[in-house]
Chain A
Amino acid sequence: MDVVVEAVTQIWGEESTQVKALDQFSHCFRSGRFSCLLGPSGCGKSTLIQIVGGLEPATEGRVRVQDPQKAYSHRPLGADSVMVWQNLNLFPWRNVIDNIAFGLEMRGLSRAERYRRANALIASVGLRGFERHLPGQLSGGMRQRVALARALIMERPILLMDEPFAALDAQTKIVMQEELLKIFDQTHKTVLFVTHAIEEAILLGDEVVVMTARPGRIKEVIPVDLPRPRSLEIVSSKEFGALFDRTFHLIREEVTAAMAQQAAMVAAQS
């Protein structure tokens, strides 16, 4: 499924306190590719994937999700995508298996069928033995796996990920990144992955969409032609270093601009 974003502008707030989060954002996220959205905080990257997921209406512009083989698609936005949230949003009263099977339960599948499918995913993300645990009893990395499995069980072609690994410690993050790479190689979903870590964006992505400070626009799209399947060793390669430097210089200007904006906002409030 291609995700075609056409001139999306997003404005938050009432008239007097309007904030423009996105400004005329246009990009085609190609089917089966892993795209990373990279930018300073507040640049509207999370807003963009929520719009793509049909969870927020865009103020202006539109998003189309379409099969590249077919000319038109009439499916509602959000029907082909599923989100992995920054703060996970696991249901704290549901145990691991019932969190993962939530979407199937909403579809009205029988318990036996739900558990059969959930158990297959539980095995593949390494949560066996924790089926009956509540999210509050799990470590950060394990909760992350539950969130990922809960999204994957929907079997939707587009995976939206909003800084999913931001809260993890460094070691757990590495493990989760490698697992995500493995899952991507097996399933070939279309992935939109929001991050503010340059290294993560290059390690995971087929392309890195660098965004400007607010209002978010595309500053540059950097193709990442590193071979797949990838693993963490790639980080020490010369090509990776070159991509990192290039991205770093782009992003530094924008982070500086974003910081100046925030300083101005604080000054205006006091």
Chain B
Amino acid sequence: MNRSARRRAKLLDKVLPWLSVIIFLLAWELLVRWRGIAPIFLPAPSSVAIFLWRMLADGTMEYHLGVTLLRIFAGFLIAAVTGIALGVLMGMSRIVSHVADIWIAALYPLPKISLIPLLIIWLGTGEAYRIVISAVTAFFPIVISTYSGIRQADRGLIKAAEDLGANTRQIQFKVVIPAAMPSILSGLQLGMGVTIILIVAAEMIGGSSQSGMGYLLISSGQVMETERVFASLVVLAVMGAAIMKLQQRADRIIAPWVAHDNR
């Protein structure tokens, strides 16, 4: 390939994905208009855009999005702190890992959504219930990734540190935990994913506070305001993508060696 052809191919690589989105939206719009599909069943993208704009203009979208984000970060923070702490303890102590193993084996496969009735009985339908259900769900992938990262820490690095005079404590804190960092970060990514799911689901089920994206979705759906449902879905998708991007960027700052790790 000569240079101009290669440049054209590169441009095509960039343009084509967006082009597919535009074509899809256009086809959707035309289909709805030509066939006269009722907006209650499938609104046209243009009217979804108008609704989205109105909801942003009067502040409802910002309010619900803000509430959901706060809950997500609260649940995630609790899961991250407790999950990493227990994972590290399990990696350091045989007793802790033996005891924790049986609990994790029993509770991890349980779909956490099935705990919702119990949590509502115990905690009611307020903030505590939503944050606990998301934290409990996110806790497991985080603790498991942390523990396996610590157990799989490179034996060679541990031996090298020992040879250079590190004691057991120093090996734990200066070698094993940093070596487990990539695994901990990927556990946090998994944890963030399920936190988002569980918060939105908990807002849909038995939420008494009447706030958050999940509430917005379910309340709009119940009164057949399909445009609002679609507008909320668009915002949720953008929110999820933005959180993931932010997390990847944070990972690169926390563990810059992972990208070019080829000792």
With contact pairs A87-B263, A136-B262 given, residues A93 and B163 touching in the complex (Cβ less than 8 Å): no
Contact B160 A134 (CB under 8 A): no
Within 8 A of A (CB), among B137-160: 154, 156-157, 159-160
Complex CA distance for A102 and B171, rounded to whole angstroms: 11
Q: Which of A89, A93, A107 contacts B165 (CB 8 A)?
A: A107
- C-alpha gap A78/B161 in the complex (Å): 12
Contact A106 B170, beta carbon cutoff 8 Å: yes
B159, B167, B170, B257: the one within 8 Å of A93 (CB): B257
Q: Which of A76-125 contact B (CB under 8 A)?
A: 78, 82-83, 85, 87-93, 102-103, 105-107
Tell me if B101 is interfacial: C-beta within 8 Å of chain A. no
A117 shortest CB reach to chain B, Å:
14
A-B CB pair tally, cutoff 8 Å: 65
- Within 8 Å by CB of A103, from B165, B181, B255, lies B165
The one of B159, B162, B175 that contacts A91, using a Cβ cutoff of 8 Å? B175
In B179-200, the 8 Å CB interface with A consists of 179, 181
Interchain CB contact under 8 A, A82 and B262: no
Q: Nearest CB to that of B178 among chain A residues?
A: A93
Q: Counting chain A CB atoms within 10 Å of each CB, which of B164, B175, B181, B262 scores highest?
A: B164
Determine how close the nearest CB of chain B comes to the CB of A97; give it in whole angstroms.
15
CB-defined contacts of A136 to chain B, threshold 8 Å: 257, 259-263
* Chain B residues whose CB sits within 8 angstroms of the CB of A137 once the complex forms: 260
| Across-interface contacts of B175 in A (CB, < 8 A) | 91
Across-interface contacts of A221 in B (CB, < 8 A)? none
The smallest beta-carbon distance between A196 and chain B, in angstroms, is 20
5 A-B pairs closest in CB distance:
A136-B260, A89-B160, A103-B164, A92-B257, A89-B156
A106 to B170, CA, bound (A): 7
When distances are taken between beta carbons in the complex, the residues of chain B under 8 Å from A92 are 257, 261, 263
- Determine how close the nearest CB of chain A comes to the CB of B250; give it in whole angstroms: 16
A-B contact pairs, 7 of them (CB 8 A): A78-B163, A89-B156, A89-B159, A92-B263, A93-B179, A106-B161, A143-B263
A91–B174 Cα distance when bound, in Å, is 10
Interface residues of B in 211-251 (CB under 8 A from A): none
Closest CB of chain A to B261's CB: distance in Å?
A: 5
Q: Does B166 contact A (CB under 8 A)?
A: yes
B39 at the interface (CB under 8 A from A): no
Residues of A within 8 A of B (CB): 53, 55, 78, 82-83, 85, 87-93, 102-103, 105-107, 134-137, 143, 150, 154
Enumerate chain A residues within 8 angstroms of B66, measured Cβ to Cβ.
none
B162 touches A88 (CB 8 A): no
Contacts of A107 in B (CB 8 A): 165
Once the chains bind, are A89 and B261 in contact (CB under 8 Å)? no
Closest to A92 in B: B257
Contact B260 A134 (CB under 8 A): yes
CA of A89 to CA of B255, assembled, Å: 18
- In contact, B263 and A102 (Cβ under 8 angstroms): no
Let me know if B126 is at the binding interface, CB within 8 A. Answer: no
Q: Which chain B residues lie closer than 8 Å to A90 at the CB level?
A: 263
Instruction: Known contacts A85-B156, A89-B156, A91-B157; decide if A53 and B260 are in contact (CB<8 Å).
Output: no
- Closest residue of chain A to B260 (Cβ to Cβ) is A136
A268–B92 Cα distance when bound, in Å, is: 40
User: CA separation between A89 and B261, bound complex, in Å?
Assistant: 12
Residues of B within 8 A of A134 (CB): 256-257, 260
A131 to chain B minimum Cβ distance, whole angstroms, is 16
* Chain B residues near A103 (CB-CB < 8 A): 164-165
Question: Using Cβ atoms and an 8 Å threshold, which residues of chain B touch A150?
Answer: 164
CA distance A47 to B72 in the complex (A): 52
Q: Known contacts A91-B175, A93-B257, A136-B261; is A82 also within 8 Å of B159 by CB?
A: no
